[in-house]
């Protein structure tokens, strides 16, 4: 089995750093798709890529272009989500192929920093999933500008008011850019 160099980037290309389960306090916290606890539970991609083929990511496999399992997963990502936002999966895979996994990891760390700031300063206890989606979908500059505006306009608000304010700012960006800040449920 190959040693994972990037445990917070899923074998299939999803960013663990932007997953709600990555930001849970307690025993149910997931530290990434390729950490020991997830390797035991496994997923079809972990079993195939890491355990059988000896590659860390699906796109590194010689058969990736013709893999029905990975193809189906990528097709699902265009219209659906699970508990995690899949909306940027295709774009992320293309970014990785063009710019490297190292640059993608840096980008995800930046996105996670904005997410942590939202969770720390603007969370009403019910916004984690929403902020995870926003951190996944919005551009870095948009996240930065939203947080700057929210800080300026939330100074005297309680936690619920701060959260409501940031939601309104993010929703305004999403509406203008036609982003979806909700999990997409497939039928």
pLDDT tens digit string along 144-155? 999 999 999 999
- The least confident of 5-14, 20-29, 31-40, 93-102 is 31-40
Domain boundaries defined on the chain: 16-177
184 contacts 79 by C-beta, under 8 angstroms? yes
Q: Is the pLDDT of residue 122 over 90?
A: yes
Say yes or no to pLDDT of 40 above 80.
no
Average pLDDT, the chain: 92
Cβ atoms of 16 and 69 within 8 Å: the answer is no
Q: Which of 15, 61, 56 shows the shortest CA–CA distance to 39?
A: 56
| Cα 11 from Cα 48, distance rounded (Å) | 10
The predicted model scores a pTM of 0.93
Instruction: Specify the DSSP class assigned to residue 50.
Output: I
Determine the Cα angle at 58 with ends 185 and 141, to 5°. Answer: 60
pLDDT at res. 67 = 92
Alpha carbon distance 146, 135 (integer Å): 11
pLDDT at 182 over 70: yes
């Amino acid at each position: 089995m190959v040693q994972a160099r990037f445990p917070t980037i899923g074998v299939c290309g999803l960013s663990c750093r932007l997953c709600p389960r990555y930001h849970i306090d307690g025993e149910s916290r997931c530290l990434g798709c390729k950490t020991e606890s997830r390797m035991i539970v496994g997923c079809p991609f972990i079993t195939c890529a890491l355990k059988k083929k000896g590659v860390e990511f699906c796109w590194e496999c010689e058969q990736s272009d013709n893999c029905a399992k990975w193809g189906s997963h990528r097709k699902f990502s265009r219209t659906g989500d699970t508990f995690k936002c899949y909306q940027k999966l295709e774009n992320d895979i293309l970014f990785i192929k063009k710019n490297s996994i190292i640059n993608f990891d840096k980008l995800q760390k930046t996105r996670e920093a904005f997410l942590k700031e939202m969770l720390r300063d603007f969370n009403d206890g019910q916004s984690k999933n929403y902020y995870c989606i926003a951190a996944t979908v919005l551009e870095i500059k948009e996240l930065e500008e939203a947080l700057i505006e929210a800080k300026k306009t939330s100074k005297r608000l309680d936690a619920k008011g701060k959260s409501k304010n940031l939601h309104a700012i993010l929703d305004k960006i999403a509406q203008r850019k036609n982003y979806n800040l909700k999990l997409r449920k497939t039928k």
